Structure 1
Amino acid sequence: MKKSYKIGLLIIGSLLVIFAFTDLQISKAIYNQQSTFGFIFEAIGEFPAALIASFCSMSLMITRNKDRSVKYILGTIGYSVLVVLFALMAAMLPVKYLSGPTLLIPLLAILYVGLFYIIAKKYTKTNREELRKAAIVGLLTFVFVTIAFNLIKMGWGRERYRNMVATGAFEGFSMWFIPQRFTTNNEFMSFPSGHSANAAIMIWITLIPTFVTSLKDKKNWFIGFATLWIVLVPISRIIVGAHFASDVTMGVTVTLVIFTLLKEKYIKKENIKDKEKISSINT
């Protein structure tokens, strides 16, 4: 395991230990249901994840080897459905939270689909394999993260801070590592934070320089922006009482672990193999 990964896990572990004893105090100190900051990031926090999923689906569809088989046709249909579904999701999230006109949803979705097709088509011609690998990581990260946090939420049954405030009873507070009960009640799905998990999918943009070679020297900018997003969205969730500090920490952790594993599988190993091939050719 890389030293950076060990350090990351140590930091996360330390935070979870601290938050186990300070969750309630932190929420009481910064809770503000009327926070504009919280409202804005509630509306746009998950927006990039849906965009990334839609773009990755489009990229996977057009980077396949073309043939006339039934499998290819079914695959085209399947990817098309995913592209449209995720594009609609990306359009719906901000419109829903910001109470925008419903007509914007299909219009924005069409715009996203068209834009993603143009971008993916462009880089299919120059960096097809790199684009495909990045797209695999992006789509699988989105799918696995969505399944993971929803299953944990229902199995953990942790009450949200805002519900405690609304009922005026804090006896239902529980430490994050103690599962309560199975539930489908949204006010008892605090752990882990879905918004934070989806926000952390922004880490995928650090793969853009792998297929947009002109941006390779700008990788630190992508890392910086992704990090900022991954910090701001979770903080906003604590402020509005939707989650505790440990909830958002675990939400981000779930995504980063899944992304890292997929990146190691589909990108890092391939890069090493490519370097080895180049080395053998040179010798």
Structure 2
Amino acid sequence: MKRSFSSAFTAGVLLIFLAVLAAATWIDLPLSQALYHPNQTWAIYLEAMGFYPFYFPALLWLLGLANDAEVKGSIRTLCTAAFTAATALMAYSSYHHLESRGVQLAFVPVCIVWTILLFGYVFILAAESRCNAAWRKRERFGFFWGTVYMLLGNIIIHVIKPIWNRARFDEMMQQADFSNFTPWYQPFGAGGSSFPSGHTAAACGLIFLVFICDAFPQYRKYRKFILILCSAYIAAMAASRIIIGRHFLSDTVAACLIMAGSFLLMRRSKMYREMLDKLPLAESDAPEKEIE
């Protein structure tokens, strides 16, 4: 009964997405014109840093391997270099976004956020050192599949973008000419990368927390709560992309559908189930203190 309810709920959510996508055929352009506010501060900061969750699993996976004494020295060095390069690239991307939007002293918020994140990474490493090997394997299961989710999403999104070639709203707005506007279902547009929304897809990356919950039986009861929080974050990101004119409603909904489909297929894949079943799940393997 529980599984059938879950399947029905999932099907219902997907149908809602499809209905909104269908409605976007008529409301895409007027909605963007009504909501356009390129100087909205919270939307600018989400653009600059809201994509981070997509890459957290990969960074944490690399960091864990880099500090694992059981991993070969050359691999640890490679993981450290990859982690350093990725964090530097993400920080620069955030700075570039903020500076291009006219934010004064754009490096200050970037430095503050990354200082907090790096302290968080140190805390996670310290916590890992107090856990046994079984705990770390389950944790890295979540990081690994979060990384796969990120890679798969990036590939799909960036394969579709040049095919659809859809013009962005803000670029047409600057030219005061919407003749290049095309509906979401029409590929080979006049030029652009509006469809689908990469930032909205990146926000979906926060769902990697569900993979971690899958690996820990005592945390599985929190999956619905996590999905609600993730949905709120994804909705905020989607709204921000429309408000600052980088995407239409259909761009964001399409990204959600792509990532939702990828998520469902991954969790139902044979490889995912086999890896999950092979994890050490004995209660005695868990740390002494657990979340109630």
* TM-score band w.r.t. shorter chain: 0.7 to 0.9
1:135 equivalent in alignment to 2:143: yes
Deviation at 1:61? 5.7
Q: Of the candidates 22, 39, 43, which is equivalent to residue 44 of structure 2?
A: 39
Deviations along 1:37-74, whole A, 9 cap, x unmatched? 322321221122222321133345667x947xxxx555
CA–CA distance in structure 2, aligned partners of residues 17 and 136 of structure 1: 35
- Runs (5+) with no aligned partner, structure 1: 276-283
CA–CA distance in structure 1, aligned partners of residues 153 and 276 of structure 2: 25
Secondary structure at 1:169's aligned position in 2? coil
1:104 is matched with 111
1:196 is matched with 200
CA–CA distance in structure 2, aligned partners of residues 274 and 4 of structure 1: 28
Deviations along 1:130-155, whole A, 9 cap, x unmatched? 22321221111111212221221122
Letter in 1 for 2:242: I
Deviations along 1:2-23, whole A, 9 cap, x unmatched? 3343323322222211112211
Is contact 1:149-1:251 (8 Å) kept?
yes
CA–CA distance in structure 2, aligned partners of residues 140 and 120 of structure 1: 22
1:84 is matched with 84
Q: 1:232/1:83 Cα in 2 relative to 1: closer, same or farther (>3 Å)?
A: same
Q: Which moved more, 1:190-199 or 1:9-18?
A: 9-18
Aligned residues: 269
1:7 equivalent in alignment to 2:6: no
1:110-259 correspondence runs (5 A): 111=119, 113-123=121-131, 125-181=133-189, 188-211=192-215, 215-259=219-263
Is contact 1:127-1:211 (8 Å) kept?
no
Identical pairs, percent: 21
Q: 1:261/1:74 Cα in 2 relative to 1: closer, same or farther (>3 Å)?
A: farther
Q: 1:103/1:15 Cα in 2 relative to 1: closer, same or farther (>3 Å)?
A: closer
CA–CA distance in structure 1, aligned partners of residues 185 and 143 of structure 2: 34
Deviation at 1:214? 6.1
Q: 1:74/1:151 Cα in 2 relative to 1: closer, same or farther (>3 Å)?
A: farther
Is contact 1:60-1:132 (8 Å) kept?
no
CA–CA distance in structure 2, aligned partners of residues 94 and 143 of structure 1: 20
Q: Of the candidates 19, 26, 32, which is equivalent to residue 27 of structure 1?
A: 32
CA–CA distance in structure 2, aligned partners of residues 76 and 150 of structure 1: 30
CA–CA distance in structure 2, aligned partners of residues 133 and 217 of structure 1: 18
The normalised TM-score by structure 2 is 0.77
- Which one has the bigger helix percentage? 1
Is contact 2:166-2:188 (8 Å) kept?
yes
Letter in 1 for 2:228: G
Secondary structure at 1:242's aligned position in 2? coil
Letter in 1 for 2:171: N
Q: 1:214/1:93 Cα in 2 relative to 1: closer, same or farther (>3 Å)?
A: farther
Is contact 1:23-1:244 (8 Å) kept?
yes
Secondary structure at 1:190's aligned position in 2? coil
Is contact 1:51-1:86 (8 Å) kept?
no
Q: 1:254/1:120 Cα in 2 relative to 1: closer, same or farther (>3 Å)?
A: farther
Is contact 1:161-1:243 (8 Å) kept?
yes
1:278 is matched with none
CA–CA distance in structure 1, aligned partners of residues 223 and 214 of structure 2: 9
- Runs (5+) with no aligned partner, structure 2: 281-292
Letter in 1 for 2:107: G
CA–CA distance in structure 1, aligned partners of residues 10 and 221 of structure 2: 23
1:281 is matched with none
Letter in 1 for 2:84: V
